[in-house]
Amino acid sequence: MKISKWHIEYTATLLVIFAMALTVMPTSFNPTRQANLTAKWKDCYKTVLYSHDVIMKHEQEDLLTSFKRAKDKEAREKLMLELVKPYFRLSDFPHVPSKYHAKYMNNKNITKEDLYYVKDYYFASNNMIVGIKDIPDKDDDTAFLMTFDVNGLLPPNTWGKDIFGVKVHSSEVRAVGEKMTPQALVNDCSLNGSGTGCSYYYLIGGSFDD
């Protein structure tokens, strides 16, 4: 059966349009998707601030004593888990699949030696993934790193895209990157950076443009 020249040209045109659509779509939808993830992070950050304020107002003295009596960082992490569990409705045990791996924005893997390496992750009621880690503090103050994958198991599982974090002290909560200079924040919240600083950068109005 002979195919008419018109059908060939029509099919070729459709293929070209389809190829162009595939090229344009990721660029068109990505900003909207990132805006949604950033909005989730801002809501999550408000919850962290609220829970910290409530806990410190009602349990500060007993809480600090409990942390000081804890034998090691694992014991302190368990105490922290119990404190924040009601606010994020965390699972009792780390049921997050072992295949889940967080990475930096520049696609580098997070190694066990890194500050942002978290051993155990917990599911929140909205499928968000929360990590808790006891971290060293210069002022001998109990401090924790809390990470939040607001997108859950869904990709990209990347700092600055769907993973954000805070450092929790007895007196305050600081978004990761809060002590960085403006230029350092811009550099870190890019495809060449780790993306950890995006946690604070987005809170002050910054945006990511890939």
Mean pLDDT estimate for the chain: 83
What is the C-alpha separation between 42 and 65, in angstroms, rounded? 31
Give residue 67's pLDDT: 77
Query: What would the pLDDT profile of 107-121 be if each residue is shown by its tens digit?
Result: 999 999 999 999 989
Half-sphere exposure of 62 toward its Cβ, with a 13 Å CA cutoff?
Answer: 6
Read off the pLDDT band of 139 (50, 70, 90): low
> Does residue 34 contact residue 161 with C-beta atoms inside 8 Å?
yes
Give residue 164's pLDDT: 98
Helix axis angle for 5-69 and 73-88, nearest 10°, is 120
Read off the pLDDT band of 207 (50, 70, 90): confident
Q: The dihedral of CA 105, 109, 110, 113: what is its sign?
A: negative
Does 96 score more than 80 pLDDT? yes
Give residue 25's pLDDT: 33
- Residue at token pair 């040209």: 9
> Does residue 148 contact residue 168 with C-beta atoms inside 8 Å?
no
In this structure, what is the dihedral angle of CA atoms 80, 81, 82, 83, given to the nearest 10 degrees?
50
Read off the pLDDT band of 4 (50, 70, 90): low
Give residue 29's pLDDT: 38
Q: Structure pTM?
A: 0.80
Over residues 149-160, the mean pLDDT reads 96
> Does residue 135 contact residue 144 with C-beta atoms inside 8 Å?
yes
The total of other beta-carbon atoms located within 10 Å of residue 156's CB is 17
Q: CA nearest 47: which of 189, 161, 146? A: 146
Which range has the top average pLDDT, 5-14, 42-51, 70-79?
A: 42-51
- Percent of residues, the chain, with pLDDT higher than 90: 53
